[in-house]
Amino acid sequence: MIVTTAQLFKVAYGKYAIGAYNINNAEQAMGLFKGCIQSKAPFIIQISKGARKYTDTKMLEAIIRAADEIFPDAIFAVHLDHGDEETCYDCINSGFYSSVMIDASHDPFEKNVAITKRVVEAAHKKGLSVEAELGMLGGVEEDIKVEDGHATLTNPAEAEEFVKQTGCDSLACAIGTSHGAFKFKGKQSLHFDVLEKIKARMPGFPLVMHGSSSVPKDEVDRINKAGGQIKDSMGVDVNEYLPAAKLGVTKINIDTDGRLVWTRVHREFFRDKPQEFDFRPPGKIFIEEYAKFIASRNQLLGSAGQLDEVRKAVTKK
């Protein structure tokens, strides 16, 4: 069942976080739905601009609609990840998405406000909610690279002003994470102080954490043993997900970790079976391994086991 992100946030806020997982193809979709059903968790499917271009937006939509039929117990929202203004309008008008993210965080404050406000107006007219971003995460996002040292944490006073001026429904805050597999040099923690200040100014307002992959060391070690060369990677400490959720982080975005599962499965498979060229056997292993991974993340986010309560809340007359 496709629901809105707002419905999911309402149930989860302050208690646990909803996992927001990116998908690009049928294998990821199968693993994601299986893992969420196994762990009885609601979830958010994220579609990036890159994912929309990878095959075709229609293909992704058909995959998701098919998965919804195959797994009738699933409860999820469909969200555009890191949209520009044009892509937001496209998704708003498609009638398929539950919510969009307008990411104008690389623009100055006033321009970010103006763009976000326009998207909010268009989205609200059609009943979709809008995630916006303030502050700058480090690392690489599709076509934008923020160099080390140029990332900026979200300013809590500005965040309050931004939400007031734009009317956005949730806010992605920069609290020390970055996209990809190389988030930190050495041990580092999320900036809980920033979250506390934002929550104090906007109690009840859903916050979003991007760049939340944990980049498991055992996964990276296995990839490297099978011929990979991923050096000095470092992710978010999984034990910080739930404390962040209690401070208002209601959506936690995880993409890179899924790519690592895919890479590990395929590297090991073709290393061990060099004569093999059928992609279905490793594809099947990936689906199972990704499902296991997703279930483990939902446990850590606190969303595992919440499906029945969410169903009651979203079907209540």
Residue numbers at the binding site for ligand 13P (CB under 6 A): 22, 81-82, 179-180, 210-213, 253-257
Smallest distance, ligand 13P to C-beta of residue 267, A: 19
Q: Which 1-20 residues touch ligand G3H, going by CB under 6 A?
A: none
255 binds ligand G3H (CB under 6 A): yes
Q: Which 156-215 residues touch Zn ion, going by CB under 5 A?
A: 210
Burial 30-40 (b: 16+ CB within 10 A, else e): bbbbbbbbebb
The residues near 227 (Cβ < 8 Å, ≥ 6 apart) are 267, 271
Picked from ligand G3H, ligand 13P, Zn ion, none, the partner binding residue 68 (CB below 5 to 8 A depending on kind) is none
Say how far apart CA 292 and CA 29 lie, in whole Å: 13
Per the annotation, the verdict on 169 as an active-site residue is no
| CB nearer Zn ion, residue 210 or residue 251 | 210
Name the helix (H) or strand (E) containing 31: helix 26-38
Picked from ligand G3H, ligand 13P, Zn ion, none, the partner binding residue 39 (CB below 5 to 8 A depending on kind) is none
Catalytic residue among 81, 103, 255, 257: 81
105 binds ligand G3H (CB under 6 A): no
User: 133: closest CA among 167, 99, 159, 98?
Assistant: 159
| CB nearer Zn ion, residue 199 or residue 210 | 210
* Residue pair 305/42 in contact by the 8 Å Cβ criterion: no
Number of residues located near ligand G3H, criterion CB under 6 A: 10
Q: How many CB atoms lie within 10 A of CB 108?
A: 9
| CB nearer ligand 13P, residue 83 or residue 302 | 83
Smallest distance, ligand 13P to C-beta of residue 168, A: 16
Closest residue to Zn ion, based on beta-carbon distance: 210
179 binds ligand G3H (CB under 6 A): yes
52 binds ligand G3H (CB under 6 A): no
48 binds ligand G3H (CB under 6 A): yes
253 forms bridges with which residues in the sheet?
20
* Residue pair 233/220 in contact by the 8 Å Cβ criterion: yes
* Residue pair 243/285 in contact by the 8 Å Cβ criterion: no
Q: Which 210-239 residues touch Zn ion, going by CB under 5 A?
A: 210
**Packing angle, helices 26-38 and 280-301, rounded to 10:** 40
User: 40: closest CA among 312, 313, 304?
Assistant: 304
Picked from ligand G3H, Zn ion, ligand 13P, none, the partner binding residue 50 (CB below 5 to 8 A depending on kind) is ligand G3H
Smallest distance, ligand 13P to C-beta of residue 179, A: 4
Smallest distance, ligand 13P to C-beta of residue 234, A: 11
| CA 271 vs CA 224, 261, 282, 288, 290: distances in Å | 12, 15, 12, 19, 20
Binding site for ligand G3H (CB under 6 A): 22, 48, 50-51, 81-82, 141-142, 179, 255
Binding site for Zn ion (CB under 5 A): 210
